[in-house]
Amino acid sequence: MAKDAFLIIEDQKSMALLLQRELALLTDLTIYICHSLAEATALLNTNINIAVCLSDLNLPDAPQGEAIDLLLRKHITTIVVTASYNDEIRQAMFKRKVADYVLKDGLSSIRYAVQTAHTIYRNSQKQVWLLSTSSKSSSKLLGMLRIHHFQVSLYESCDELQEDLKTYSPDLLLLDVSDDFSNLELYTLVNHIRSQYSQNQLPMMSCAPSENIAATIKLMKYGVNDFYNTSFTAEEFYIRVQQNIQQAESFLEIERISQTDALTGIFNRGHFFKAGGERFEQLQSSQQYFFTVMADIDHFKRVNDNHGHQKGDEAITYTAHKIEQTFSNHLVARFGGEEFCILGQVEDAAEIEALCENLRATIENDSLNTTGVSFTISLGLTYSGKNLEEAVSKADKALYRAKESGRNRVSTEF
């Protein structure tokens, strides 16, 4: 099966190379360049799969946009990149279902064009759900979303949508507000969704006519992120959709960075107490037993002093991954330095103690082969504590006893 690739059709070699260079900063996919309609025709007759094409509107052997005709006939997603702006042609291009129409009047517009091409390619991994009972409206929206490669699902009832939300969620939810849905039904739906997902976790957009703008604004007060008018243009729709998805992605990335340890990639101390506190309360309220473990690399200063800080970092990263691997069903975090903490539910104390011993033995036996440095860890384990802070304190006391007793062992605090 042919691999996906990008195509640039541009007769000016300097512009073609600029587009290629900017696009190459975003993707590892092959980027083909053609300087004429003849070259593009020959290339497209070979066994390659063009995901998205950036094409000039007018070429020496295709002065009337014949290259665009060729691309659309072959169902290739096309972004028109042109040096001359013509609103009549622009509107005609969107009617013919091009993905975008960009005026190449500077570096910023070039970067916008290649970013759009890359985004459209990545959209094949994005799920958009559309709630609509209007066949005409939904058909238009579905077609536009598919031009930009989104995976789209259509829902005609709030109940059906809510049922699917129990198992998974999309990257964006579009609400086509019409007379077929009562305001109360929509408010209830939005309220329900916002009780489970924040505006950054699941962005929502609503579409409504101008005469129904009050209801749309009320929906935004209930938690809808954005809205667009029924008389929207293709460009407005695509920009709003991408901005809402990108803003949600940016927030989630910032949230991920704030929750994880930069060196090891596992959770950090702050997230441990936030998520762990919630989990601790859930375990207590359901009268389930819990365990807390504190783990620490023995004589870590010697590792740094004798082998350097890079080896010290490798030892910490190796230990973090082994802890995460061993306690994969539980909450694991790096507390700082060479210290780690684990919180989880326990049904069999012997099983948790076996996991701790297995981790200790693995580090002792495999650390040299994996990192080039031989080291051990000590662990403190407890099954008690009125709250998470007390449980961590007890596990820390157990860890201290393990250190005082000779290190490379598991100690338990009851």
> For residue 78, what pLDDT is reported?
98
Q: What is the mean pLDDT of residues 169-197?
A: 85
> For residue 178, what pLDDT is reported?
62
Assigned CATH for 4-121: 3.40.50.2300
pLDDT more than 90, % of the chain: 83
CA distance 168 to 201: 12
CA distance 242 to 149: 12
Which positions ≥6 away from 1 have C-beta within 8 Å? 49
SS3 at position 163 = helix
- As assigned by CATH, the class of the 126-256 domain is alpha beta
> For residue 179, what pLDDT is reported?
55
pLDDT for 15-63, tens place per residue? 999 999 999 999 999 999 999 999 999 999 998 999 999 999 999 999 9
B/e letters for 11-24, b = 16+ CB within 10 Å, e = fewer, are: beeebbebbbebbe
pLDDT for 207-247, tens place per residue? 877 777 777 888 889 899 998 887 888 899 999 999 999 99
Q: Residue 180 pLDDT more than 70?
A: no
CATH fold of 267-413, please?
Answer: Alpha-Beta Plaits (3.30.70)
CA distance 240 to 226: 8
Q: Which two tokens stand for residue 41?
A: 């025709």
> For residue 181, what pLDDT is reported?
65
pLDDT band (50, 70, 90) for residue 135? confident
Q: What is the mean pLDDT of residues 378-390?
A: 96
> For residue 329, what pLDDT is reported?
93
pLDDT for 161-173, tens place per residue? 999 999 999 999 9
Intrachain domains 4-121 and 126-256 with the same fold: yes
| Domain boundary assignment for the chain | 4-121, 126-256, 267-413
Q: Which two tokens stand for residue 9?
A: 């059709």
Inter-residue long-range contacts of 64-69, CB under 8 Å, 24+ positions, other chains counted: 65/89, 66/37, 67/9, 67/37, 67/40, 68/93, 68/96, 68/98
pLDDT band (50, 70, 90) for residue 191? very high
Neighbours of 380 (CB within 10 A): 27
Q: Residue 154 pLDDT more than 60?
A: yes
Q: What is the mean pLDDT of residues 315-324?
A: 97
pLDDT for 337-376, tens place per residue? 999 999 999 999 999 999 999 999 999 999 999 999 999 9
Residue carrying structure tokens 């870590």: 300
Q: Residue 183 pLDDT more than 60?
A: yes
CA distance 80 to 112: 12
CA distance 216 to 204: 12
> For residue 124, what pLDDT is reported?
94
Mean pLDDT of the chain: 93
Q: Residue 1 pLDDT more than 60?
A: no
Look at residues 213, 374, 207 and name the one whose alpha carbon lies nearest to residue 302. Answer: 374
The answer to whether the CB of 121 falls within 8 A of the CB of 52 is yes
Q: Tell me whether strands 151-155 and 172-176 are parallel, antiparallel or unpaired.
A: unpaired
pLDDT more than 70, % of the chain: 99
pLDDT for 243-302, tens place per residue? 999 999 999 899 999 999 999 999 999 999 999 999 999 998 898 999 999 999 999 999
> For residue 241, what pLDDT is reported?
95
Q: Which two tokens stand for residue 384?
A: 């008690």
Strand order in the sheet with 77-82: 30-34, 4-9, 49-56, 77-82, 100-103
Q: Residue 134 pLDDT more than 90?
A: no
